[in-house]
Each structure stands twice: as structure tokens, then as C-alpha cells.
């Protein structure tokens, strides 16, 4: 009987030791994680320059004899993985109302006093039909904003560029292009 108890005790001990060995074993797994990056530059949704209008209204003599500035917050919202430039140009040489024309160079576009979060060197641009640099070497970033001032100076609104033109709405598109450096 002592022998049977000893055999039973050894059997139970072996089972317990074997179970502990199974529980004590570690299993490892290794996974490779890849992050694939592509260069991106985008004028993002939320830019007020997308599908928006800037309206100058000349109603009184005082309107023609003073600078008129319209500030547009978040005109451009740019995301870029590299430093970049922003250029601007008109869709043609003139604002048009049928056959009546006002040259696009009556309009100046520049960064507003509170320019937003976009860095870089900002320049005032007298609008033309050729690309001109509005912001140069802006640092990379996500959803960088640029607030813009659109100005028609009194020297233009009180000149023959605007005075003497038939009443009506004169229209032209303005295109902004962000380009990675």
C-alpha cells in the first residue's frame, strides 16, 4: 500500500510538474509594420477660395475715391509634406461684363494682417493673367491657413480703369496653385 501511495504521489507530482511546464512555456509572434509615405500637397476643402466670391460694390462717390479691401479668412488651407510656394493668376487679362472690360491689374491680393498659420515669405501681388508668387518657401504642415486681403486702391477705382465703364457686374476667375519645392 505504501508502494501504491508512493506511485500515486509520484504520478500526481508528474502531472502537476508537467502541467506547470506547459503553462510556463512562452510563445512569441513577430509582425512587421510598414508605413508607406507619399509626397502630398493639397489645397484642402474648407478653403474659402474654392467656389467662393469676392464682391466689390461701388455705390457712392466715396466708394470710388477710397481704397476698398475685402478680407477673406481661410482663403487657402494647404497640407504639404514638403516646403511649398503659392502662386496666383487671373483667368484672363480683364474682368468682363459682356464686351465691357476692366483690367485685372486693378486688384491687389496679399496676406491679411492676421495672415493665418501658413509661414513663408508673403508678397503683395497685382493681379495678372500670369502666375505670380504670393507665398514663397512656406514650411510643410497640415491644414495651414492663409487669410487674404483683396484690395482695389483708390488710384485704380478713381481712374479710367473703372470710371466711365457701364454699370454692371464685371467678373474674372482667380486661380491659386500650391507647388512643393
Q: What does the pLDDT look like over 154-171, one tens digit per residue?
A: 999 999 999 999 999 999
Other CB atoms within a 10 A radius of the CB of residue 24 amount to 7
55-89 burial, b at 16+ Cβ within 10 Å, e below that, comes to: ebeeeeeeebeeebeeebebbbbbbbeeebbbbbb
Average pLDDT over residues 123-146: 97
Q: Answer yes or no: is pLDDT of 134 > 90.
A: yes
Please state which of the ranges 24-28, 76-80, 105-109 shows the lowest mean pLDDT.
24-28
Residues 6+ apart with CB under 8 A from 159: none
Q: 42-99, pLDDT tens digit by residue?
A: 999 989 999 999 999 999 999 999 999 999 999 999 999 999 999 999 999 999 999 9
Pair 70, 149: CB distance under 8 Å: yes
Q: Is 74 strand, coil or helix?
A: strand
Q: Output the pLDDT for position 11.
A: 56
pLDDT bin (cut points 50, 70, 90) of residue 8 is: low
d(C-alpha 90, C-alpha 85), whole Å = 17
Closest CA to 89 of 45, 126, 50: 126
pTM for the structure as a whole: 0.82
Residues paired with residue 125 on neighbouring β-strands, in sequence order = 109
The cell 467662393 sits on which residue? 52
Average confidence score pLDDT of the chain: 90
Q: Output the pLDDT for position 25.
A: 74
Closest CA to 180 of 87, 45, 42, 85: 85
Pair 84, 178: CB distance under 8 Å: yes
Give the C-alpha distances (Å, rounded to integers) separating 28 from 20, 21, 33. Answer: 18, 16, 16
Closest CA to 131 of 77, 86, 164: 86
Q: Return the higher-pLDDT residue of 97 and 24.
A: 97
Amino acid at each position: 500500500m505504501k508502494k501504491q501511495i508512493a506511485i500515486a504521489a509520484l504520478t500526481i507530482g508528474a502531472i502537476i510538474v508537467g502541467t506547470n511546464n506547459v503553462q510556463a512555456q512562452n510563445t512569441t509572434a513577430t509582425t512587421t509594420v510598414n508605413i508607406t509615405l507619399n509626397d502630398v500637397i493639397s489645397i484642402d476643402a474648407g478653403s474659402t477660395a474654392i467656389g467662393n466670391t469676392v464682391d466689390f460694390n461701388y455705390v457712392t462717390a466715396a466708394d470710388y475715391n477710397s481704397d476698398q479691401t475685402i478680407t477673406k479668412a481661410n482663403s487657402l488651407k494647404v497640407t504639404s509634406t514638403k516646403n511649398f510656394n503659392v502662386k496666383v493668376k487671373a483667368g484672363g487679362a480683364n474682368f468682363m461684363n459682356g464686351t465691357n472690360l476692366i483690367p485685372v491689374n486693378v486688384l491687389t491680393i496679399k496676406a491679411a494682417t492676421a495672415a493665418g498659420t501658413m509661414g513663408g515669405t508673403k508678397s503683395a501681388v497685382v493681379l495678372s493673367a500670369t502666375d505670380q508668387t504670393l507665398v514663397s518657401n512656406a514650411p510643410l504642415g497640415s491644414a495651414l491657413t492663409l487669410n487674404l486681403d483683396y484690395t482695389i486702391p483708390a488710384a485704380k477705382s478713381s481712374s479710367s480703369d473703372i470710371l466711365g465703364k457701364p454699370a454692371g457686374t464685371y467678373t474674372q476667375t482667380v486661380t491659386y496653385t500650391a507647388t512643393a519645392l
